[in-house]
Amino acid sequence: MDILALNCGSSSVKYQLFDWKKQKVIAKGMVERVTIGDSYIVHEVPGRETYREEHECPDHKAAIHLIIKILTDKEQGVVTDMGEISAVGHRVVHGGEKFTSSVLINDTVLDAIKDVQHLAPLHNPPNISGIEAAQANLPDVPHIAIFDTAFHQSMPEHAYMYPVPYEWYGKHGVRRYGFHGTSHLYVSKRAAVLLGKAPEDCNIITMHIGNGVSHTAIKNGVSVDTSMGLTPLEGAVMGTRCGDIDPAIPAFIMDREGLSPKEIDSTLNKKSGVLGITGEFTDRRDVIAAAEAGNERCKLALEIESYRLKKYIGSYCAALGRLDAVVFTAGVGEMGWLIREKALEDLEHIGIKLDKEKNRNTMTRKKETLITTADSPVKVFVIPTDEELVFTEDVVAILEETYTDHMNFKYSFADSTFQRT
């Protein structure tokens, strides 16, 4: 049984083909610059050289057709035809309140996803385009939606409701939803294994730090609070998103600069965060290099991001009461030792004793590492995330009718014998 996982962004399609019987990835890659020109695919197969091909993809249907072409190619492919693929799992960023778990996609489900696309206008439309394109290219296999928001539907009402007119919730669905759910699910289950505890016995703060950034307070194995809100704009400082700001700022700048609601929304989502402070960088490696070379705005960006991370650790520690571990994951979380060090500095009073040498030597996307001292009451792990594995296991469980909520479903990676492939 081969499972294809698809993650469709506005200008990219990430894919992974997983052999369920052999429990291994047989191919993965990404189509870049979809819809914007000069498109190309980067295709990786274990044991082979990475393959790159230039190919124009004016839409997601063309991108997915290109993926199918490469997967079945006589030289670069890994399957003889797409009939070997049993199902397709699709990342969907926003499911609103309608979806608390992964589901088989039918017309009703697709319509429901479309109904909430205004809550994630940068993400849901390309997710929907990807689903429709994949269904057109692979009409005879099941397609399953895996929602970023589903993991956070366990939050209590006092955590997800905003102190705004209550009718906004009933009329427009205004509440905290949270995102990066599959990543938070995966690394929290792995952290429980590393702690030698059952998930329901663990209180963990998970910190997904990439271009998008979100943090989650996990109490007794379930999400009880998370930093992103109604949309992915709220929360921590991100690559191009502002995160938490005074809510009066948008109206103030719209008035002073004569900006429209669409323009201010674009500025806060695409021109703020690390980019807004530095004026030129979003990649934290570039920010760190420029800061080391004396760029004052890059130094400031690092201080702002790290300070905000520290504040979230402190606030979620207070919310949880007892803290067992903090987990860093995603590109910056896994590779950015300096940002981790700054965020964890002077937190001994809450039980975090950082081993600076271990932390500085931990820059990998493949290895799970403990970066606190042996006597640190609270453990800090760097755990590479694997959202595609969550996609795959949800898909197989739905096909086999064994799927249930994540606290009762036994994921392979929640077992002490699990090894990354």
pLDDT at 421: 62
Among 409, 155, 236, 206, residue whose Cα is nearest residue 324: 206
The residues, any chain, with a CB within 8 Å of residue 370's CB and separated by 6 or more, are 194, 358, 379, 380, 381
Catalytic residue among 59, 81, 140, 148, which?
Answer: 148
125 and 209 inside one domain: no
Asked which of 98-112, 114-128, 366-380 is least confident by mean pLDDT, the reply is 114-128
Amino acid in position 239: G
119 and 225 inside one domain: no
pLDDT at 374: 95
| Paired sense of beta strands 103-104 and 143-147, if any | antiparallel
Q: In the 8-state DSSP scheme, what is residue 280?
A: S
333 CB burial (10 A radius; 0-12, 13-18, 19+): buried
User: Taken in order 181, 184, 188, 190, is the CA torsion positive or negative?
Assistant: positive
219 and 132 inside one domain: no
Contact 281, 287 (CB under 8 A): yes
As a whole number, mean pLDDT of residues 8-17 equals: 84
209 and 104 inside one domain: no
277 CB burial (10 A radius; 0-12, 13-18, 19+): buried
Query: Is residue 157 domain-resident?
Result: no
**CA 415, CA 189: separation in Å to the nearest integer?**
9
Angle (nearest 5°) at CA 149 between 112 and 210: 130
Tokens standing for residue 407:
């606290």
Residue with tokens 């992103």: 228
Query: Is residue 141 domain-resident?
Result: yes
Please say if the pLDDT value at position 170 is more than 80: yes
Query: Is residue 162 domain-resident?
Result: no
Query: Is residue 252 domain-resident?
Result: yes
| Distance separating the N- and C-terminal Cα atoms of the chain | 17
286 CB burial (10 A radius; 0-12, 13-18, 19+): middle
**CA 332, CA 328: separation in Å to the nearest integer?**
8
Query: Is residue 357 domain-resident?
Result: yes
123 and 245 inside one domain: no
253 and 380 inside one domain: yes
How far CA 239 is from CA of 43, 144, 340, in Å, comes to: 26, 30, 16
Q: For the segment 81-94, what is each residue's pLDDT rounded down to a tens digit?
A: 888 889 999 999 89
DSSP element (H, E) containing 93: none
207 and 125 inside one domain: no
260 and 319 inside one domain: yes
| Domain span at 231 | 196-385
CATH number, residue 339: 3.30.420.40
User: Taken in order 388, 392, 398, 403, is the CA torsion positive or negative?
Assistant: negative
**CA 272, CA 243: separation in Å to the nearest integer?**
9
148 is catalytic: yes
126 and 12 inside one domain: yes
Query: Is residue 186 domain-resident?
Result: no
Contact 310, 302 (CB under 8 A): no
104 and 223 inside one domain: no
**CA 368, CA 252: separation in Å to the nearest integer?**
45
Contact 23, 95 (CB under 8 A): no
Q: For the segment 187-241, what is each residue's pLDDT rounded down to a tens digit?
A: 999 999 999 999 999 999 999 998 889 999 999 999 999 999 998 899 999 999 9
Q: In the 8-state DSSP scheme, what is residue 150?
A: G
Left (φ > 0), alpha (ψ -120 to 50) or beta: where does 181 sit?
A: alpha
How many residues are recorded in the chain?
A: 421
Please say if the pLDDT value at position 12 is more than 90: no
Total count of domains within the chain: 2
Query: Is residue 184 domain-resident?
Result: no
Banded pLDDT at 394 (limits 50, 70, 90): very high
Tell me what the pLDDT averaged over the chain comes to.
Answer: 92
Q: Which of 85, 115, 147 is the last residue of a domain?
A: 147
How far CA 90 is from CA of 123, 133, 416, in Å, comes to: 12, 11, 28
Left (φ > 0), alpha (ψ -120 to 50) or beta: where does 52 sit?
A: beta
pLDDT at 41: 94
pLDDT at 196: 96
138 and 258 inside one domain: no
Among 307, 287, 292, 316, residue whose Cα is nearest residue 211: 287
Query: Is residue 168 domain-resident?
Result: no
Contact 201, 150 (CB under 8 A): no
The sheet with strand 2-8 has its strands ordered as 51-54, 40-44, 24-32, 12-19, 2-8, 85-92, 143-147, 103-104
User: Taken in order 349, 350, 355, 359, is the CA torsion positive or negative?
Assistant: negative
309 and 226 inside one domain: yes
